[in-house]
Structure 1
Amino acid sequence: MKPSDFFNALWDSYTQVTPQAQRIQKLFESHGETVLNDHVAFRTFNNSPVALEKLEPQLEAIGYKAYGAFRFESKHLKARCYKHETDADSPKIFLSELLVEELPENCQAIIAKFVGQIPADAVQSPAVFWAGKLWETPTSEEYATLAEHSEYAAWLSTMGLQANHFTVSINHLKQFPTIESVNSLLQDEGYALNEVGGLVKGSPTSFLEQSSTMADKITYNFSDGIEKSIPSCFYEFARRHVQPNGSLFDSFIEGNADKIFDSTNTK
């Protein structure tokens, strides 16, 4: 599979539950901009048939190589980032997984039920990255229990494997060259932005500035017959800065990413 086919399929799946992304892309295009994708991100469960180490070979199969590792203590996550080995313009990929054993036992039991339903051979091709939910729909009570201890787990229980967000590369915008101008445009259009730790996560001195919308809401039918509005996916915006060695910063920053995760919070 070519990376372009991979990202096109991801975008199709992502925009079905994130209509704001297409609207925002069209908004930039109406100002004469060409929108390029900086990176996409995925979430998964550790110690499962779709754990990070099981998924990684599928990224390698489309030409990607890991180049950074991260740990998010308070959210019980670890993550790796990947870039294409030969195409510098191909979007980067951020893959995180939930360290289930660090959650309370009641949450572990719920997740163990989901993980037990995932086929052992679930990972056959890169298409697993838009496979969605590989387990039965949770009950509203299970969702609430998970959300109390891990918003990440609650989100994953309902949304499954799919792009959690795409990211507009501000570096490639002409009319909106700063993250502040991007945020102003979005707020003027009525989009709710993630304000955890401030609208802008990071700074020019850390070589990466990021902001994001709050996730779109979808109506979700839980298996106990209860219907609720829950977060789906969001759109991110990233501005990368040149480092002292003259190269553009191309990795990620734990402090920024930790706050970006909150874009799918129910609260």
Structure 2
Amino acid sequence: MTTSPDKLMLLDEVMNGLMSRYRERVPDVSGVVNALMDEGVIGSAGEIENDHIAFRTMGVPNLGIQSFEKIFLHYGYQKRDFYNFAEKKLTAYWYAPPEPRFPRIFVSELRVHELSERAQAIIHSYTDTVTADPVDGLNLDDAAAVDAFLHQPLWRTPTLADYQTLLAESEYAAWVIYNRYYLNHFTVSVHNLKPGYHTIQDFVAFLERRGFRLNTAGGVVKTSPDGVLLQASTVAQMLDAEFAGGETHRIAGSYVEFAERRVLPQFAHLPPDQIRREHRRDGFEAGNADKIFESTFTSQTHQ
């Protein structure tokens, strides 16, 4: 199925809006880009391939994946594999882009009904104010409106007490109750960089040399069982957040991920200049993603 040029142009605008606000909010983005330029790996930020972007949602009526996915399905994305994160009480899917120049999208949602009654009551006190699916009222052919929607609050600003109660039970819940649909992370495709930086081990060594703090949950490098998807990430930037009533508190914002997708065994004979996206490991790995989620957790941010 081909996507119309008009839809692709809209998607470009939405992605540009997402990335521009994300760069403002996550200093590590410019930090990584500038370090790569400083070492002569790239000439500009545009040379970086964005492997995927990720969003977090609440699994409650009118919201969650079933609402959020409508935006990107409209622009030609195709829904792919299901993932279950039992311990974190999360469900997720990934979405394949209409053209290889666009990033994959990973969308997760919290299974709110599996939390304690206290946590459920707190979450519903905010999300129950959303009485209809907000995407149904959105003009998806208006890129500016979609960009604004992805950066606007869907419910009132939480109190610090509610945030901290949720944090004690589900750090994911606390992140979403404050940050809503803000872009959770974008991902540098390291395999397309020049030698010396194009494996995850080389790239991690570069990041550590440049002083970036990396997520150590499950090890700095998270490797899929088949050995061909390797991922790492920075620890989320801490932000001064203002809560209801004017209280402020430092909380986890967003972070940057790095992925190496190795060539699949059946394409190992291809010369490097013939290797394209379809020759590399696609999709995601629940074990890797489970630990990447922890980039925003206090076990990482408070190290």
**TM-score (normalizing by structure 2):** 0.83
Alignment partner of 1:50 is 2:63: yes
The Cα of 1:116 is off from its aligned counterpart by 1.4
Aligned to 2:119: 107
* Corresponding position of 2:129: 117
Counterpart AA for 2:102: S
Task: Compare CA radii of gyration and give the structure with the larger one.
Answer: 2
* 1:222-244 Cα shifts (integer Å, max 9, x gaps): 11432111110000000001223
Query: What is the distance in 2 between the residues matched to 1:40 and 1:128?
Result: 18
**In structure 2, how many angstroms separate the alpha carbons of the residues matched to 1:209 and 1:128?**
33
2:157–2:244 Cα contact (<8 Å) kept: yes
Residues 204 and 79 of structure 1: is their aligned pair in 2 closer, same or farther, counting only changes over 3 Å? closer
Q: How many residue pairs align between the two structures?
A: 266
Q: Which residue of 1 aligns with 2:33?
A: 25
| Cross-structure match for 1:15 | 23
The residue number in structure 1 matching 2:175 is 155
Partner of 1:180: 201
Answer yes or no: is 1:167 the counterpart of 2:180.
no
- Residue 280 of structure 2 aligns with which residue? 248
Per the TM alignment, residue 119 of structure 1 is displaced from its structure 2 partner at its CA by 5.2
* Stretch of structure 1 that moved more, 166-175 or 197-206: 197-206
With 23-32 and 133-142 compared, the bigger mean Cα shift is at 23-32
Q: Distance in 2 between matches of 1:183 and 1:129?
A: 35
The residue that corresponds to 1:142 in the other structure is 162
State the match for 2:291 in structure 1: 259
CA contact (8 A) 2:35 2:210 kept: no
Which aligned segments of 4 or more residues in structure 1 are displaced greater than 4 angstroms?
Answer: none
Q: Which has the higher contact order (CA 8 A, sep 6+)?
A: 1
Return 5+ residue gaps in structure 2 as ranges.
1-6, 141-145, 268-278
Asked whether the equivalents of residues 28 and 35 of structure 1 are also in contact (C-alpha less than 8 Å), the reply is: no
Q: Quote the residue 2:246 is aligned against.
A: 225
Give the distance between the partners of 2:235 and 2:61, measured in 1 at CA.
Answer: 29
**Aligned runs of 1:51-130 on 2, under 5 Å?**
51-85=64-98, 87-118=99-130, 120-123=132-135, 124=138, 125=140, 126-127=146-147, 130=150
